[in-house]
Amino acid sequence: MGKLNSATSTEIERRQFIKWVSLSSLSLALPLTSCNFGGSTKVDLPIDLSNLKNVYDFERLSMKVMGEDALLYLNGGADDLKTVKLNSEAYQEIQIRARRLIDVTNVSTEVNLLGQTLDNPIIMCPVGFQKFFHPDGEIGSAKASVKKKHQMIVSSVSNYSVNEIAEQSQAKLWFQLYPTVDRKVTKKLLERAETAGCKVCVLTVDSPVLGNRERGGTTLTKLMGDKILKMGNYEGIMPEGTTFDDAGMTWDIIAWLRENCDMKIVLKGIVTREDAALCVKHNVDGVIVSNHGGRQLESLRSTIDCLPEVVEEIDGKIPVLIDGGIRRGTDVFKALALGATAVCVGRPYCWGLGALGQQGVEMVLDILKAELIRDMQLAGTASIEKITKEHVLIN
């Protein structure tokens, strides 16, 4: 691949992204109302922080601050949003069996995961284009992750590059990868991630093509077209014709990744026992049970419903994480009880980002961790490893 003029390559990246968005039905006509265009418009709101008691309060506040269009993009999903809703609603079908007369004076939320000891099992999902929600974007989220001791996964399509995020936040990041058809571009992304200190590559495998997302996205497309938002990881490496997905990707990608990076490989998007078995066969380092937040296939299967068969098949050989619909400490508890090593949250911390920037992210993370600790105490579990399948019943 020859060298590209910087201005030309940026323009190509911009055009390619707009094409990518339009192919996913995101460019359907929506009014450009009440959006703050990446934070350029400030909304004066009298905010009593003591009234922000749960993640839903941040969702409501974020809509007032960042606008309807940004919230539609963030909360949107495939087709009729049934899978988006089921991701959360399915947790209501799981009951907690609490034990009594157990000393829970001191509760430990530490987990060992992929060679790291994490303060808690609540990981920040990769979410792209975070400057759409607040001008601090991914840097604000990463700073919050450091301050509150949560692992963060940076998206390939972050507005700030993974290197900028790492430098300005001092976070030990993981990198989420959308493999392009042009493997030279993919290799450059991996090199940039490793230069930023990333030790884990989270390969998204549920997006051979983009899902049918009919709600939200017009304003995002406009902001990309107006060059207000950029894709930091792709600057200078995106040749004409490159796409952000690969419909021809197969399990051979695992061997290719091993040859082209030294990061641990985690597959994001595993929802069946068959693919769980193939993950073990191909020696990946971990999986994330995920349906892309309901944004890809309208499957009508929540991730928490998919979790048990994946856990059973993997049988402790590699860690199993889960994302999708986690909104409460009880949701975290239930996922851990059903065999997840850790959980990932996306929309909740982005509601915090949109509402109050870095401070909002910190508050959301504090709320979720505090809820988890309280729920562990009430259920009689003094550490994460004490949470077992005997602590839950499924209706």
Amino acid in position 28:
L
Ordered per-residue pLDDT tens for the chain, 395 residues = 344 444 455 555 555 544 444 444 333 222 233 345 444 344 455 678 989 999 999 999 998 998 888 888 999 998 999 999 999 999 999 999 999 999 999 999 999 999 999 999 999 999 999 999 999 999 999 999 999 999 999 999 999 999 999 999 999 999 999 988 889 999 999 999 999 999 999 999 998 788 888 776 566 666 666 667 888 999 989 887 677 788 989 999 999 999 999 999 999 999 999 999 999 999 999 999 999 998 989 999 999 999 999 999 999 999 999 999 999 999 999 999 999 999 999 999 999 999 999 999 999 999 999 999 999 999 999 999 999 999 999 98
Q: Within 10 A of 7 (CB to CB), how many other CB atoms are there? A: 8
Q: Residue 121 carries which side chain, given as an amino acid letter?
A: P
Name the fold adopted by 6-394: TIM Barrel (3.20.20)
Kindly tell me the number of DSSP H helices and DSSP E strands found in the chain: 14, 12
Alpha helices, DSSP H, located in the chain:
6-23, 55-66, 68-75, 82-89, 137-148, 162-169, 183-195, 218-225, 252-260, 273-281, 303-314, 329-337, 347-356, 358-379
Dmax (CA) of the chain: 68
Q: How would you class 322 by CB atoms within 10 Å of its CB: exposed for 0-12, middle for 13-18, buried for 19 or more?
A: buried
Compute the distance between CA of residue 259 and CA of residue 250 in angstroms, rounded to an integer.
16
pLDDT value, residue 97: 98
Q: Burial of 6 by CB count in 10 Å (0-12 exposed, 13-18 middle, 19+ buried)?
A: exposed
Active site residue 292: yes
Report the distance separating Cα 142 and Cα 151, nearest Å. 9
Handedness of CA 278, 281, 283, 286 (dihedral sign): positive
The per-residue pLDDT for 212 is 86
Given the residues 134, 150, 292, 391, select the one marked as catalytic.
Answer: 292
Neighbours of 319 (CB within 10 A): 18
What tokens does 14 get? 């911009």
Token couple for 238:
């995106």
Question: Domain residue spans in the chain?
Answer: 6-394
